[in-house]
């Protein structure tokens, strides 16, 4: 190692490993201290390349700090503080350790300067985050976690294969931009690994499947890191790839459509992650400086408001035990502050003026118009309508107002969550408003200089008109939008059914063949073998042992008969022996 460089991820890893040894009375302080130290280290990083480790013939770069990695590192570190504060009262150390390792993996990818380091932390993200699903300890969570892990392992294999092919062809392990206009097989494999984590259809179904089954605080972390880390990787390696524009628009619309059908509030939010990440992917595909700025700004804003929405719905789940619209309603009376915070998150994701989404999402749409990708820009605006319809209106209305479908025990349990959960939601809400009102805070961190001004009369009036007509449509069609307790079939259906088919195949035909082979072996092989073994044992015991034992018995008898000549003295024995030999010699000579 050329010189020591303190990686922010190392602070979280060491802090997580030491957490079980911290006394109970100091644990909450430790839980806040470690993320704060990691965030402080992140914002104190100087621009440049650090943490170079020479290993065999490779140079591993753990610290590539530039404008692009700095903004993602900033928001990841800040979210770690908010997420840990939100789950501060959770007493299970494993949940906090898994969360911190998950964030450490994300920070490791963001600051990685080579593919080996990137892959190491990429897999750390996958294997640590799955525990945030499993810790809910429901049968559904266990199954969802296994599916989540299998999908990400498949994506990791594709990524590793692409890395090996790319590095063999180029001779370099450096993680730099690809030639997106002349992609190779290696390029597409690496892209597949990245877009799987970005939840690009058809590689997306793991997201609502797992995030809807995570713990109430684990889903806050899940909503922030995996997809946005993938967006960073796409910004770094695939800016300007036209295919991503198409995929991004599909994502934006696909997520909105499925949100219409969803009854579980956290699964609805998960589908809107797909939709909102679609804006970022489309921005990466446009590839201009404004579009990349928009993708980074929207990732920054999205992490905050989506985390806020998951915190609000997680608070409902934590306090009532329910997350389905058909089992909730009228909770604003019991949880007024949670309602306010969730509403702020809904307005932010809907790009309402004075909220964070307004100053980030519009940059991507404007970049689409500038690049004459009118179809993409208009479809992204259409997706905004669906976002406000369901996250800005449906979620607040059917949880906090609407018909009270709560069971008596659910209504009795409903109350404001612990102080730390409200404090975390308050901080996230304040940041959503602050970013929306004071744009230089966000714009000064963007990778490229920007002179974009969202608060023009035309843009504000256009946005308010779209939102107003969407709200009118919602209340006119509210009876048609009432949630129903149904299950929506998504593209996870093929591998769910495929898994059942493989299980049936293993249990029935393959097991039958295995049983037949075993029976043939038993009859044709094992039984003759045992018969031969028994015959050999009988022959050995009856014949061989009989001969050997008989000879031994004869020798022993002869020895017993000769014992009388033993005098007990060596000299006498020798004289007797010589005498016998002499007699034998005389008899031999006389005979011949």
In whole angstroms, how large is the CA radius of gyration of the chain? Answer: 36
Do 434 and 519 belong to one domain? no
Domain presence at residue 68: no
3-state secondary structure of 58: strand
* More reliable by pLDDT, 404 or 268: 268
Mean pLDDT of 558-584: 64
* Structure confidence at residue 1 (pLDDT): 46
Query: How confident is the model over 500-539, as pLDDT tens digits?
Result: 787 788 878 888 888 888 778 777 777 787 888 787 777 7
* More reliable by pLDDT, 348 or 498: 348
- The whole domain housing 315 covers 239-486
Last residue of a domain, one of 434, 455, 486: 486
Distance between CA atoms of 582 and 568, rounded to whole angstroms? Answer: 22
Mean pLDDT of 392-416: 86
3-state secondary structure of 50: strand
Distance between CA atoms of 313 and 391, rounded to whole angstroms? Answer: 11
Do 396 and 306 belong to one domain? yes
* Structure confidence at residue 554 (pLDDT): 73
3-state secondary structure of 72: helix
Distance between CA atoms of 372 and 380, rounded to whole angstroms? Answer: 14
Domain presence at residue 313: yes
Averaged pLDDT score across all residues of the chain:
89
* Structure confidence at residue 231 (pLDDT): 97
Do 476 and 520 belong to one domain? no
Q: Judge whether residue 549 has pLDDT over 70.
A: no
Domain presence at residue 228: no
Q: Judge whether residue 126 has pLDDT over 60.
A: yes
Domain presence at residue 451: yes
Look at the chain and report how many structural domains it folds into: 2
- Does the CA dihedral 418-420-423-428 come out positive or negative? negative
Distance between CA atoms of 157 and 123, rounded to whole angstroms? Answer: 10
Q: Judge whether residue 493 has pLDDT over 90.
A: no
How much is the pTM? 0.85
pLDDT classification of 403: cutoffs 50, 70, 90: confident
Do 479 and 544 belong to one domain? no
Do 356 and 245 belong to one domain? yes
Q: Judge whether residue 392 has pLDDT over 60.
A: yes
Domain presence at residue 474: yes
Do 530 and 470 belong to one domain? no
Do 367 and 293 belong to one domain? yes
Do 435 and 561 belong to one domain? no
* More reliable by pLDDT, 74 or 496: 74
Query: How confident is the model over 179-212, as pLDDT tens digits?
Result: 999 999 999 999 999 999 999 998 899 999 999 9
pLDDT classification of 566: cutoffs 50, 70, 90: low
Do 444 and 556 belong to one domain? no
* Structure confidence at residue 562 (pLDDT): 56
Domain presence at residue 173: no
Distance between CA atoms of 78 and 299, rounded to whole angstroms? Answer: 13
Question: Which is nearest to 341 in space by CA: 303, 313, 300?
Answer: 313
64: which strand partners? 49
* More reliable by pLDDT, 397 or 574: 397
- Does the CA dihedral 207-90-73-305 come out positive or negative? positive
Distance between CA atoms of 300 and 306, rounded to whole angstroms? Answer: 10
Concatenated DSSP letters for 262-316?
A: --BHHHHHHHHHHHHHHHHHHHHHH-SHHHHHHHHHHHHHHHHHHHHHHHHHHHH
Query: How confident is the model over 272-324, as pLDDT tens digits?
Result: 999 999 999 999 999 999 999 999 999 999 999 999 999 999 999 999 988 88
Domain presence at residue 36: no
Percent of the chain with pLDDT strictly greater than 70: 94
Do 422 and 460 belong to one domain? yes
Distance between CA atoms of 15 and 29, rounded to whole angstroms? Answer: 12
Residues whose CB is less than 8 angstroms from the CB of residue 272 and which lie 6 or more positions away in sequence, other chains included: 255, 256, 259, 306, 349, 387, 390, 391
Do 407 and 551 belong to one domain? no
Q: Which tokens in the block code for residue 282? A: 């489309």
Do 430 and 562 belong to one domain? no
Domain presence at residue 324: yes
Give the range among 107-116, 362-371, 387-396 with minimum mean pLDDT. Answer: 387-396
Mean pLDDT of 80-90: 95
The half-sphere exposure of 587 on its side-chain side, counting CA atoms within 13 A, is 6
Our CA angle for 434, 306, 275, nearest 5°, is 120
């Amino acid at each position: 190692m050329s010189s020591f460089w303190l990686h922010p991820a190392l602070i979280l890893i060491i802090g997580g490993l030491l957490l079980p040894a911290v006394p109970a009375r100091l644990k909450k302080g430790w839980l806040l201290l470690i993320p704060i130290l990691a965030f402080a280290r992140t914002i104190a990083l100087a621009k440049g390349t650090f943490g170079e480790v020479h290993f065999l013939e490779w140079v591993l770069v753990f610290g590539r700090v530039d404008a692009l990695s700095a903004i993602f590192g900033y928001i990841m570190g800040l979210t770690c503080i908010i997420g840990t504060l939100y789950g501060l009262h959770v007493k299970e150390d494993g949940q906090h350790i898994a969360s911190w390792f998950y964030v450490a993996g994300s920070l490791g990818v963001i600051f990685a300067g080579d593919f080996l380091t990137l892959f190491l932390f990429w897999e750390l993200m996958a294997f640590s985050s799955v525990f945030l699903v499993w810790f809910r300890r429901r049968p559904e969570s266990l199954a969802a976690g296994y599916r989540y892990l299998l999908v990400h392992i498949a994506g990791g294999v594709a990524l590793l294969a692409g890395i090996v092919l790319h590095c063999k062809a180029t001779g370099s392990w450096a993680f730099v931009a690809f030639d997106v206009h002349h992609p190779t097989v290696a390029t597409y494999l690496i892209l597949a690994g990245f877009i799987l984590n970005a939840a690009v259809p058809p590689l997306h179904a793991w997201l609502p499947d797992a995030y809807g089954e995570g713990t109430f605080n684990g889903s806050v972390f899940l909503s922030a890191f995996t997809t946005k880390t993938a967006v960073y990787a796409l910004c770094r390696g695939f800016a300007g790839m036209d295919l991503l524009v198409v995929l991004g628009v599909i994502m934006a619309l696909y997520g909105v459509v499925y949100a219409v059908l969803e009854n579980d509030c956290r699964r609805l939010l998960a589908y809107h992650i797909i939709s909102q990440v679609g804006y970022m992917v489309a921005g990466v595909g446009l590839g201009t400086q404004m579009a990349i700025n928009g993708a980074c700004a929207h990732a920054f804003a999205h992490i905050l408001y989506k985390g806020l929405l998951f915190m609000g719905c997680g608070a409902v789940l934590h306090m009532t035990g329910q997350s389905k619209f058909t089992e909730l309603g009228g909770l604003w009376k019991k949880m007024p502050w949670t309602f306010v915070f969730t509403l702020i998150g809904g307005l932010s994701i809907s790009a309402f003026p004075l909220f964070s989404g307004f100053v980030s999402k519009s940059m991507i749409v404007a970049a689409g118009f500038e690049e004459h990708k009118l179809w993409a820009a208009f479809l992204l605006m259409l997706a905004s309508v669906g976002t406000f319809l369901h996250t800005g209106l449906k979620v607040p209305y059917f949880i906090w107002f609407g018909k009270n479908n709560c069971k008596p025990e659910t209504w009795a349990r409903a109350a404001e969550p612990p102080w730390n959960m409200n404090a975390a939601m308050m901080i996230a809400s304040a940041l959503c408003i602050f970013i929306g009102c004071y744009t230089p805070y966000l714009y000064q961190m963007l990778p490229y200089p920007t002179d974009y001004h969202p608060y023009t009369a035309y843009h504000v009036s256009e946005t308010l008109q779209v939102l107003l007509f969407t709200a009118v449509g919602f209340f006119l069609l509210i009876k048609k939008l009432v949630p129903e307790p149904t299950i929506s079939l998504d593209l996870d259906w093929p591998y769910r059914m495929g898994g059942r088919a493989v299980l049936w195949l293993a249990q029935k035909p393959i097991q039958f063949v295995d049983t037949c082979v075993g029976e043939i072996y038993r009859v044709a092989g094992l039984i003759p073998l045992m018969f031969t073994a028994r015959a050999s044992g009988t022959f050995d015991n009856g014949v061989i042992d009989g001969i050997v034992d008989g000879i031994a018995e004869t020798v022993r008898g002869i020895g017993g008969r000769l014992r009388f000549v033993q005098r007990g003295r060596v000299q006498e024995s020798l004289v007797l022996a010589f005498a016998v030999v002499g007699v034998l010699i005389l008899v031999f000579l006389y005979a011949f």
